[in-house]
Amino acid sequence: MTDCQGEGIGPVTTMELYEKLTAQGDKVRSLKTAKADKADVDAAIQLLLKLKVDYKGVTGQDYQAGCPPSDMAVSNNRQLGNGGEEDTVDPWNVATNSAKGVDYDKLIVRFGSSKIDQELVDRIEKVSGQKPHHFLRRGIFFSHRDMHQVLDAYEKQKSFYLYTGRGPSSQAMHVGHLIPFVFTKWLQDVFNIPLVIQLTDDEKYLWKDLTLEDCHRFAEENAKDIIACGFDVNKTFIFSDLDYMGSSPEFYRNVVKIQKHVTFNQVKGIFGFSDSDCIGKISFPAIQAAPSFSNSFPQIFKGRKDVQCLIPCAIDQDPYFRMTRDVAPRIGYPKPALLHSTFFPALQGAQTKMSASDANSSIFLTDTPKQIKNKVNKHAFSGGKDTIEEHRQHGGNPDIDVSFMYLTFFMEDDEQLEKIRQDYTSGALLTGELKKMLIDTLQPMITAHQENRKNVTDEMVKQFMTPRPLDFNF
Ligand code: TRP
């Protein structure tokens, strides 16, 4: 059996069936358009129906155009044309009609992941011996894949490693960008495990109107902000794709293996690529998948290919890792586990996430205390009432109030936060007062980050970004 054939009715044969079905659907359509002979059209339809029955028999799912089988299958609302009722969540777009933000419970069902429930949070506490991070306690990290397996193995002394990343699209990072890193730092501390951080300067070059030099420079600048989160250089490897891809034969071999096992049809279904997208984009997902496999980093894992990977990321990155998890067993590697976070809302409201290209949608890590104050006061969408009298009488709505949402991310004290929720809901706390609390939380936090970043030297960046063994024995 060659590499490409997979095992029995494995993903490859279902994928072949899927591709046949898609082709047959196209054929029926073109026959109809061409007003072909009725007998020919009927015959083509009969075959299409038969393929659909076969497909359901094998996959247990109804065939849907643009939605390939298995782990990867997720309804892609652009292609299904569902009238825009579903939230849009993919690596490039996040949008919803609801002021409360994306419906994350629905997303779990659509993506086929699992909810991080109280039981899992308690288990993380038990296994790590630490109080769970408030991102876990408050459902900011809300969804996972295979986290129980990771904990089972860890309890049996089988370690794992962390992988996360960032697309360096500009020099300016905002507070939302810190969420995965703050959480990853906590995971690294409580489990004492290696961490690899991918900076996808290649991705940004392919997707944006930027030069290679710009993207690479942004990667190094962003690395400083990441290092400022407090990572330990002896346990952390940060890499730019533009540098590491060319310097690591093992990494590139994994990229090629992945590329061989994913078809154009599959990435079209997952990412919505079209015929006019450049081929760099089409093959990029393999590069984001490769760090999920431990032998991409022989200097850290001594060539071992079986070290379990855990990826903390925002839920919009899940398509990459559905693809990764689908190919993993076919190329002899364990599937990476995942922990997914919700999005950090824009100041203007939770209908979308913050954008680095709109200065007023975000609090940047470079903002001065005064800018923070002005942005919050001017732009933070309020769930309060129009007049003080009305607000006192009816109270505000914290569920759509961006200042309150931000406090759930950054205020560590659960009791204090709960009191604010109650007071705001009852009308005892006014919008201006709530905003002041947020400003008082953000200003020292951003100032501290700026201090930390100032202390990150070019020499330190170089150290973090040099392929080398870490303080772990694999
Ligand atoms: N594609 C991500 C972005 O644009 C960057 C990234 C690469 C990433 N690998 C990752 C994010 C792993 C989370 C986990 O930001």
In SS3 terms, the chain reads as CCHHHCCCCCHHHHHHHHHHHHHHHHHHHHHHHCCCCHHHHHHHHHHHHHHHHHHHHHHCCCCECCECCHHHCCCCHHHHCCCCCCCEECCCCEECCCCCCCCHHHHHHHHCCEECCHHHHHHHHHHHCCCCCHHHHCCCEEEEECHHHHHHHHHCCCCEEEEEEECCCCCCCEHHHHHHHHHHHHHHHHHCCCEEEEECHHHHHHHCCCCHHHHHHHHHHHHHHHHCCCCCCCCEEEEEHHHHHHHCHHHHHHHHHHHHCCCHHHHHHHHCCCCCCCHHHHHHHHHHHHHHCHHHCHHHHCCCCCCEEEEEEEHHHHHHHHHHHHHHHHHCCCCCEEEEECCCEECCEEEEECCCCCHHHCCECCCCHHHHHHHHHHHCCCCCCCCHHHHHHHCCCHHHCHHHHHHHHHCCCHHHHHHHHHHHHHCCCCHHHHHHHHHHHHHHHHHHHHHHHHCCCHHHHHHHCCCCCCCCCC
**Per-residue model confidence as pLDDT tens digits over 399-419:** 999 999 999 999 999 999 999
Is 164's C-beta closer than 6 angstroms to any atom of ligand 1?
Answer: yes
Is 198's C-beta closer than 6 angstroms to any atom of ligand 1?
Answer: yes
pLDDT(71) > 70: no
Quote the ligand 1 centre to 303 CA distance (angstroms): 24
Q: Nearest C-alpha to atom 10 of ligand 1 is from which residue?
A: 165
Which of 92, 179, 198 maximizes ligand 1 atoms within 8 Å of its Cβ, making it the mutation to test the pocket? 198
Is 177's C-beta closer than 6 angstroms to any atom of ligand 1?
Answer: no
Q: Nearest C-alpha to atom 3 of ligand 1 is from which residue?
A: 167
Q: What is the pLDDT of residue 49?
A: 78
The mean per-residue pLDDT over the stretch 146-163 comes to 97
Its sign, for the CA torsion 316, 438, 409, 105, is negative
Is 166's C-beta closer than 6 angstroms to any atom of ligand 1?
Answer: yes
Is 289's C-beta closer than 6 angstroms to any atom of ligand 1?
Answer: no
Is 165's C-beta closer than 6 angstroms to any atom of ligand 1?
Answer: yes
Q: Which residue has the higher pLDDT, 75 or 51?
A: 51
Quote the ligand 1 centre to 180 CA distance (angstroms): 10
Among the atoms of ligand 1, which is closest to the Cα of residue 320? 1
Quote the ligand 1 centre to 108 CA distance (angstroms): 20
Amino acid at 373: K
Q: What is the pLDDT of residue 12?
A: 44
Q: What is the pLDDT of residue 72?
A: 53
pLDDT(7) > 60: no
**Per-residue model confidence as pLDDT tens digits over 387-404:** 999 999 999 999 999 999
Which residue, 373, 398, 381, 378, is CA-closest to 347?
Answer: 381
Q: How far apart are CA 379 and CA 325, in angstroms?
A: 40
Is 167's C-beta closer than 6 angstroms to any atom of ligand 1?
Answer: yes
Whole-Å CA distances, 190 to 128, 148, 364: 6, 16, 28
Quote the ligand 1 centre to 419 CA distance (angstroms): 36
Residue 244, CB-side half-sphere exposure with 13 Å CA sphere: 32
pTM summary value: 0.83
Q: What is the pLDDT of residue 172?
A: 85
Quote the ligand 1 centre to 454 CA distance (angstroms): 25
Q: How far apart are CA 416 and CA 437, in angstroms?
A: 11
Q: What is the pLDDT of residue 410?
A: 97
Which of 166, 182, 310 maximizes ligand 1 atoms within 8 Å of its Cβ, making it the mutation to test the pocket? 166
